[in-house]
Homo-oligomer: A and B are copies of this chain.
Amino acid sequence: MNIMVAQSGGPTPAINATVVGILELAKRNDSIDHVYGALNGIEGVINQQFIDINQRIHNDIELDMLFYTPASALGACRYQLPENMNDSPIYQQLIDALKAKGVTIFIYIGGNDSMDTVKKLAQYCELKCIEDIQFIGAPKTIDNDLVGTDHCPGFGSAAKYIATTFAELEKDCFVYNRPSVTIVEIMGRNTGWLTASAALSRLNGGKGPDFIYLCEVPFDQEQFINDVKSKLQRGKPVLIAVSEGLKNVQGEYLSVIKGNALDAFGHQFISGTGKYLENLVRHRIGGKVRSIELNLMQRCAGHLSSKTDLNESKLLGAKALQAALDGETGKMVGIHRLSDQPYAIEFVVADIALIANQEKKVPLDWISTERNDVSASMIDYMKPLIEGETKLNYRNGIPEYISLY
């Protein structure tokens, strides 16, 4: 039999480790002939763009390179299957494309949208009594916003990047002995998990960010101004972490409060959350102020992956394939935490219908009572996830990554 893997959604440094986990288990299983990769997620199935992954990986060194390579080596898409299965020929088209390749197991690695795709394909097969193809989801998102799993592969590596970057930005900001404000905007869509990881920069005694504002609570502009003003009184730099998804008390995203901002070409200027707050501080307080977007770097910094994250991601790939071999379909594999310290987890299989299209937010009691920092519970949760450094290979002074197509 043949299996097929596809990847989707935003990049992470951990998404290819899951593929490696699948490849390694498949190799040990005599009943599996080919592990195909669909290019650009489910779109690759529709367009019948496949590769035989093992033909693109010639030795263990290249398999190792795949393990460390950030962003989907099979490409990704942003494609949602239509809701109405009966009226849309795309479902049968997908099943036919898989059958034509002799595929009986399809594993989709991704975030919320990808889990929705797995759910729908499994439901379609149930509806049409198609019993010879199984669909399994493997979680992956730096945003860490999937339910049904303690945390998502990709989060630990992005958190390690953010914690390290804050430890370094602190060194940078504090070289000048005068007040300044540096606002760092962090990804995470509508959840503050990644923003919270800025607090991990304090683990080795660093000051870390002076304030952390998560998007789980409405952003109170006046409190923010007061926070910044009071901290500036000590005459030192102030370092602040903010979620890209911050909303004001009226429920509007800060990033799209446009005022009369026009760019040099007379078009509406859409600033980011960090830029908005930079301008706010400049306007209301003045002085030296700058904003930084960690931008794409926070989701593709393979050179700073968490060993814990990559190892779990690989094991989840094997778990996904094993679940299918055990007869499961319409499921997502996930992580259940047994203990923070010592850190212990087990892998679980969860019904994907309970997972797709939901969003796991930071619990409010993991945010400080002043709503401008995180609590100790949040640190306990995140700390083990950034542990360990990888043995990424460097050549010519830069990391060695692989391309599969």
Which of A147-155, A294-302, A366-374 faces chain B? Answer: A294-302
A131 within 8 A of B: no
A175 CA / B306 CA spacing, docked (Å):
21
A50 CA / B267 CA spacing, docked (Å):
53
Interface string of A161-172 (1 = CB under 8 A from B): 001110111011
Contact B271 A164 (CB under 8 A): no
Which B residues touch A260, using CB under 8 A?
262, 264, 266
Q: Decide yes or no: A168 and B70 within 8 Å by CB, A397-B203, A397-B388 being known contacts.
A: yes
Which B residues touch A168, using CB under 8 A?
70-71, 297, 300-303, 399, 401
Q: List residues 142-189 of chain A with CB under 8 A from any CB of chain B.
A: 160, 163-165, 167-169, 171-177, 182
Q: Residue A164 contacts which of B175, B200, B398 (CB distance < 8 angstroms)?
A: B398
Which B residues touch A101, using CB under 8 A?
none
A77 within 8 A of B: yes
A396 within 8 A of B: yes
Q: List residues 289-330 of chain A with CB under 8 A from any CB of chain B.
A: 292-297, 299-304, 306
Which B residues touch A282, using CB under 8 A?
265, 267
A206 CA / B200 CA spacing, docked (Å):
33
Q: Residue A279 contacts which of B176, B204, B267, B296 (CB distance < 8 angstroms)?
A: B267
Q: In the complex, how many angstroms separate the beta carbon of A74 from the nearest chain B beta carbon?
A: 9
Q: Decide yes or no: A40 and B261 within 8 Å by CB, A206-B401, A297-B165 being known contacts.
A: no
Interface string of A361-405 (1 = CB under 8 A from B): 000000000000000000000010011110000111111110100
A259 within 8 A of B: yes
Q: Residue A276 contacts which of B173, B264, B267 (CB distance < 8 angstroms)?
A: B264
A286 CA / B311 CA spacing, docked (Å):
41
Interface string of A65-108 (1 = CB under 8 A from B): 00001111001111000000000000000000000000000000
Q: Residue A265 contacts which of B283, B304, B395 (CB distance < 8 angstroms)?
A: B283
Contact B397 A171 (CB under 8 A): no
Contact A169 B297 (CB under 8 A): yes
Q: Decide yes or no: A200 and B397 within 8 Å by CB, A70-B172, A292-B295 being known contacts.
A: yes
Which B residues touch A387, using CB under 8 A?
396-397
Q: Residue A75 contacts which of B165, B176, B400 (CB distance < 8 angstroms)?
A: B176
How many of A's residues come within 8 Å of B, CB to CB? 79
A296 CA / B182 CA spacing, docked (Å):
10
A191 within 8 A of B: no
A165 CA / B383 CA spacing, docked (Å):
25
Q: In the complex, how many angstroms separate the beta carbon of A12 from the nearest chain B beta carbon?
A: 10
Which B residues touch A203, using CB under 8 A?
395-398
A160 CA / B395 CA spacing, docked (Å):
12
A394 CA / B203 CA spacing, docked (Å):
11
Q: In the complex, how many angstroms separate the beta carbon of A118 from the nearest chain B beta carbon?
A: 19
Contact A271 B264 (CB under 8 A): yes
A269 within 8 A of B: yes
A72 CA / B293 CA spacing, docked (Å):
23
Interface string of A47-76 (1 = CB under 8 A from B): 000000000000000000000011110011
A201 within 8 A of B: yes
Q: In the complex, how many angstroms separate the beta carbon of A384 from the nearest chain B beta carbon?
A: 8
Q: In the complex, how many angstroms separate the beta carbon of A267 from the nearest chain B beta carbon?
A: 6
Q: Decide yes or no: A398 and B263 within 8 Å by CB, A175-B72, A177-B40 being known contacts.
A: no
Question: Please, could you name 12 A-B residue pairs with CB atoms under 8 Å apart, sorted by A?
Answer: A11-B172, A76-B176, A164-B303, A203-B396, A204-B399, A204-B401, A259-B264, A259-B265, A264-B280, A265-B280, A306-B397, A389-B394
Additional 4 contacts, C-beta under 8 A, given A11-B172, A264-B276, A387-B396: A75-B176, A164-B303, A200-B396, A259-B265
User: 7 tightest CB-CB pairs across the interface, nearest first?
Assistant: A259-B264, A386-B397, A203-B396, A71-B171, A172-B300, A265-B283, A76-B175
